[in-house]
A and B are shown apart, each in its own frame.
Chain A
Amino acid sequence: MKMAISRWVRLHIWFRLLLLQASWNFERMQGIGFFYALFPGLKKLYSKEKLAEISLKYAGYFNTHVYFAPLVAGAVLKLEEDRASANTDLEVEIDDFKEMVAAPYAAIGDAFFWGGLRPLAAGVALFFAVKGVLWAPLIFILLYNIVPIWFRILFFARGYRQGLKSIEFIQRHKLPDWAIHTKEAAVVILGGLSALMVFSHLTEQQLPGWLGMLTLIPMVLLGLVARKGLSTLLLVFITVASIFLVGLFWADVVSLIAS
């Protein structure tokens, strides 16, 4: 007999995945959340006695990128459905599957979303914000969320449709390469943004434009220092304190010349 999880239950699970990290903790990370999300599906497939045992398994350690969790959840649901309908063991244990995909998906997601897309979307939105456009936050939200929402919806459906084969889908689309391209695009956008901010400031201060090119020297130096692991807080403190002292010194010089 074919055991199927209805469309409504799948929708319920999808919405629950938005709360995946509500009980994030250092021991099992997203584990309880993964059980919470899948529970409406699991209870359709198992008797009450078996459900407790299965639920305990799902509430164990689990951690992946939050936007990739729907893909894993979809595939796991499919495997659970297959196991329940065939009433036999699968070629791959569901626990092993979860463990096998969680870490690589987390690495891809971290690099693509946090490392690439977020700076890219922030860079574009800041162009508008620097110009005083009040819609800039909305531009950021829209620009950033297109891909994650698409991922969350499409990947959940694909995971459910393909089960184990969903891994091939990720491999075929070469997502790690996309992460590098997005990061490169973010660097280019941030270069343009820096130029705009420096140029606007120099114009406002009525200073000669060529001075702007000199900004690259401290920026590259600070970038190299940051690469060595110096904290942002310390870098901000050093930069701001230097500007403050130079400002005071310059004000004294100006008042001395005036007197």
Chain B
Amino acid sequence: MVLSLTLGALVSLICGLDRVAILQVMISRPIVAAPLVSLILGEPLVGLQIGVMVELLWLARLPVGAAVPPDDTQVAIASSVLAIILGRTLGTSGTELLLLCLFVAIPLGKFGQYFDRYARQYNVRLVRQVDTALQRGSFVAAEWLHLRGLVSFSLASLGTYIIILLGGLSIIPILWPFVQQPLSYSSGWMQLAFPLVGITVILGTINVSRAITLFCASFGMAFLLLWLV
């Protein structure tokens, strides 16, 4: 379990940095991060299912200017790790456990937004230090101060991951016996609802004239083809 948590933390750190601080090659997207961590932990399908459910949820929340979107990276990674670890501990598998992990991770993921904002606020301190270093002519120090910003972003990512894991590991084993059966009646529908809600939010905010017409036409045509052909 400790090894799984540590490997999860490593993926959380690397993918968390890709969100803002370095590269931006989108390994931070849930459809990549969740399957990646679950592949490392030996159960890639768990991450793929979680990736499908989380990927589109906040895709419409754009990181424009100073806006900080919810941390879907850590939600996806931590819920995958939770689902795998608890699946082994509770001796269960299936969509119900994945859903319960997500229900716990999504609200706790709100901390990610606060931490990310705090990291960006904390980095303001670097501005003064860089100015002083440059006025002194210490260019190397100024360069290192820039890289020190990575520490804030790393801590924000790891902090979110740890909070979701601690919350999940303490709440889910208690809730599981009570919700397993009731969730089983509707788990398939809920699994379908997650990406569809994400798509509706994208539709509502994408700022394309006739987006709903285009969507309905495309949906209708694809559905009829699948159904009738």
Binding site for B on A (CB under 8 A): 18-19, 21-29, 31-33, 35-36, 39, 43, 48, 51-52, 55-56, 59, 63, 66-67, 106, 110-111, 114-115, 118-119, 122, 125-126, 129-130, 132, 134, 136-137, 140-141, 144-145, 148, 180, 183-184, 186-199, 201, 204-205, 209-210, 212-213, 215-216, 219-220, 222-228, 232-233, 235-236, 239-240, 243-244, 246-248, 250-251
Contact = CB atoms under 8 A, between A and B. Distances in A.
B44 A114 contact: no
Interface string B51-86: 110011111111111100010000000000000000
A194 B188 CA distance: 15
Given A52-B135, A130-B52, A227-B205, A215 B196 contact: yes
Interface string B195-221: 111111111111110011011111111
Contacts of B190: 240, 243-244
Contacts of B204: 222-228
Contacts of A125: 31
Interface of B: 20-27, 29, 31-32, 35-36, 39, 44-45, 48, 51-52, 55-66, 70, 103, 106-107, 110, 120-124, 126-127, 130-131, 134-135, 137, 139, 142-143, 145-150, 153, 182-183, 185-186, 188-190, 192-208, 211-212, 214-223, 226-227
A22 B149 contact: yes
Contact of A56 (B45, B135, B198): B135
Contacts of A224: 204
A192 B31 contact: no
A240 B124 CA distance: 40
Contact of B205 (A188, A226, A239): A226
13 contacts: A21-B20, A23-B123, A24-B120, A31-B127, A32-B130, A56-B131, A115-B206, A141-B32, A187-B211, A190-B202, A197-B192, A219-B200, A233-B70
Contacts of B61: 232
B214 A188 contact: yes
Given A18-B22, A23-B126, A222 B55 contact: no
Contacts of B226: 195-196, 199
Given A114-B64, A144-B26, A226-B201, A35 B142 contact: yes
Contact of B206 (A31, A119, A191, A193): A119
Contacts of A145: 25-26
Nearest to A254: B185
Contacts of A52: 134-135, 137, 139
B97 to A, nearest CB: 15
Contacts of B31: 122, 125-126, 129, 136-137, 140
A48 B137 contact: yes
A195 B219 contact: yes
A141 B27 contact: yes
